[in-house]
Amino acid sequence: MSFLAKPFLRRHPAFFPLCLLTLATMSALTVPARAQSSSSSSSSEAAPDATVSKEPTPTKAPPRIAQPEAGGSAITLETSEPLFYLAVALNTCGYDADLANSSPVRLKIRDEVNSEVAASEKARTSRDALCAYVREHTLNDASLNLAQYISLALYLSPPPSLTPTVDETDLPPDSTQVVNILPLLRNFADDIHLHAIWVQHRPEYEELTKLVHDPLTKMVLNTNIYLRLPVSSYDGRRFLVLLEPMLAPSATNARIYANDYIVAASPAGEPLGAVHMDDIRHIYLHYEIEPLVYSRATAMERLQPLLKGVQEAPLEYVYKTEIVPLITECLIKAVEAHTMDVGLTKPVRPAGIRERADLEHYDAEVSAYTHQAEANRRKAVDLSMRQGWVLTEYFYNKIGEMEKENVSLKDDMGEMVYGMDVDRERHHAQQIAFLPAGSRDVLRRAPQQLTGLQLAEEKIFKGDLSGASDIANKALADPNGDHAQAHYVLARVNLMQRQPGAAIDDFEEVLDSSKDPRTLAWSHIYLGRLYDIKDDRKKALAEYQAALTVRDAQPDTKAAAEKGIKEPFTAPKVAHEEPADKDDEPLDPSGKAEKDAYRPPPPH
């Protein structure tokens, strides 16, 4: 789907594009509400036997959360009525998180909803059904529990329809767990006249949006000035901040869908309108820096040995197995350290200095400030390193050189990547005493204990193919197990054990049962490579093309599929194994040379 047929975000006076008119001037534009036109389509998979032309057919763009204004800003601050509906539903059903620190409008709306419920037996009935559903679908992790409803809200049409604007298979995976709340939500909203409550409190929403707008614009401006990057109009990517006062102001919920970077935040009551701007800035840094890193994704392969140094770090699994996300996060941590509030008052040069002693005293104050500020920044760098972001110090030093040379991050990125002494940084990482799990910042969850098929993925990475097979077979024996992911594990184990026929059978099972875009895409890529090895180029091309039609936005997926279309895959030669415990060996946990050619980063 190119864009949504209907906007889920209505354009009110509270919609603000954040535009940079000059380096010194910030401006807010008001865009009136208007309809948006678009075309839609759904992603599909090409049959393995399909005829594929020599030139690849154009692929369909993944579903988007909203269609940006033509020629408008890529950076926007908005509110969403579907998100409001879901947030009210959660508040009605016991979501009281950080209620005391919320803006006053949250309490007002809760009271009005409670009054409507108390006055109507029909409303009480619909509330009870709604809340029973919410209770049944409550997750142990409070942040993940809220996230599934926010994900759903992003792909809903405006009330009263409140229907998904994409096929269910195109919804974010977490939102599909709660999509059946929608009929209950529509009934409840009708019974308590929720749209009227939304309209009544629009002025308060608009006022809160105005309070957030200027600090947000200043953050965007200052960040781009520091990185020496332009703030451009819409170019296919979008940074969207959604403001919803019915959520807890203590938490900032962020996610990245394809080219859409979304932050859902709630303004506090004291000071009124305050949001966690550091958290929003962290996601904005992802928005600006990720394209610079991913544009050199192929060059990152030489950095793969660095993953060996973070296996004991308190990081999420993806950062231990994928080098590009690890590098991105380390670079962002380094930027944040350089631009952090060091907690000191910078000396101000006195007016009318005439005595040399006065100037010397001021210079001494500046020197002391500079020394202490750098010490505070280095403490932040050290903390990031001990949390597992092992390249933070390297990038911090490089950014310091970048500042002195007055070049942009975009211009300096190549030198940062290609000039890195990988062996030195790997050995440095192995000397770090990592902190225990759960000691990281607000936007990062503590790494969970791997169980089930997640543990099987880790065993594959470490080369324990027998252990991975045992876990996958147990999952297949369980009627409630994730059979699709189990087959995906077994298929890759069969590849590494040189059993292509069994691997093909398992990958076909994955394609028949999985709904995870990344798993589907890489199953097609694997099948394409297997057919290439069997000299069946026609089937191989069909699989590579099918991989491109699956909704997986990761650059490595697209690169692998396009490479397969461009030229046939050839199996790597098996090299004689060297002792696996030598520190100078490249990272190859399985001890098999062909593994890296087959294995993609683990599915998300």
pLDDT digits (tens, 9 = 90+) for 1-29: 222 222 333 333 334 444 333 333 333 33
Which pLDDT band, with edges at 50, 70 and 90, does 63 fall under? low
**Per-residue model confidence as pLDDT tens digits over 464-501:** 888 888 888 988 898 888 898 899 999 999 888 888 89
Q: How wide is the angle at C-alpha 442 spanned by C-alphas 438 and 447, nearest 5°?
A: 30
Instruction: Decide: 260 and 65 in contact? Cβ < 8 Å.
Output: yes
- Name the amino acid, one letter, at 282: H
Residue 171 pLDDT more than 90? no
Phi, psi for 296 (deg, rounded to 5): -115, 30
CA Rg value for the chain: 26
pLDDT of residue 22: 30
Structure tokens at 491: 């298929």
User: In angstroms, rounded to a whole number, what is the distance separating the alpha carbons of residues 561 and 541?
Assistant: 9
Range with lowest mean pLDDT among 23-32, 168-177, 338-347: 23-32
pLDDT of residue 550: 77
Pairing outcome for strands 75-78 and 16-22: antiparallel
Q: How wide is the angle at C-alpha 107 spanned by C-alphas 106 and 108, nearest 5°?
A: 90
- Does residue 73 come out as left (phi exceeding 0), alpha (psi in the -120 to 50 range) or beta? beta
- How long, in residues, is the chain? 604
Instruction: Decide: 569 and 532 in contact? Cβ < 8 Å.
Output: yes
Phi, psi for 92 (deg, rounded to 5): -65, -30
Structure tokens at 413: 């990125």
Residue 31 pLDDT more than 70? no
pLDDT of residue 528: 92
Mean pLDDT across 340-366: 85
Pairing outcome for strands 238-243 and 25-28: unpaired
User: In angstroms, rounded to a whole number, what is the distance separating the alpha carbons of residues 340 and 134?
Assistant: 40
Question: Which SS3 state, helix, strand or coil, does residue 305 take?
Answer: helix
pLDDT of residue 582: 42
pTM flag (> 0.85): no
DSSP classification of residue 120: -
| C-alpha distances out from residue 471 to 354, 468, 476, 494, 503, Å | 78, 5, 9, 14, 17
User: In angstroms, rounded to a whole number, what is the distance separating the alpha carbons of residues 527 and 516?
Assistant: 17
**Per-residue model confidence as pLDDT tens digits over 94-123:** 999 999 999 999 999 999 999 999 999 999
Which pLDDT band, with edges at 50, 70 and 90, does 417 fall under? confident
Instruction: Decide: 493 and 472 in contact? Cβ < 8 Å.
Output: yes
Residue 396 pLDDT more than 50? yes
| C-alpha distances out from residue 441 to 223, 247, 278, 338, 387, Å | 20, 20, 11, 17, 10
DSSP classification of residue 449: P
Using alpha carbons, select from 383, 386, 381 the residue that is nearest to residue 399.
381
Instruction: Decide: 486 and 476 in contact? Cβ < 8 Å.
Output: yes
Question: Which SS3 state, helix, strand or coil, does residue 136 take?
Answer: helix
SS (H, E, C) 464-521: CHHHHHHHHHHHHHCCCCCHHHHHHHHHHHHHHCCCHHHHHHHHHHHHHHCCCHHHHH
CA 231 and chain centroid, separation: 21
Mean of the per-residue pLDDT values for the chain? 80
The H-or-E segment that residue 110 falls in is: helix 104-118
pLDDT of residue 95: 94
With a CB cutoff of 8 Å and minimum separation 6, the contacts of 480 are: none
DSSP 3-state percent helix, strand, coil across the chain (nearest 5):
55, 5, 40
User: In angstroms, rounded to a whole number, what is the distance separating the alpha carbons of residues 341 and 107?
Assistant: 33
Instruction: Tell whether the torsion through CA atoms of 33, 71, 155 and 240 is positive or negative.
Output: negative
**Per-residue model confidence as pLDDT tens digits over 211-237:** 999 999 999 999 999 999 887 666 778
Instruction: Decide: 468 and 347 in contact? Cβ < 8 Å.
Output: no
Q: How many CB atoms lie within 10 A of CB 125?
A: 14
- Does residue 273 come out as left (phi exceeding 0), alpha (psi in the -120 to 50 range) or beta? left
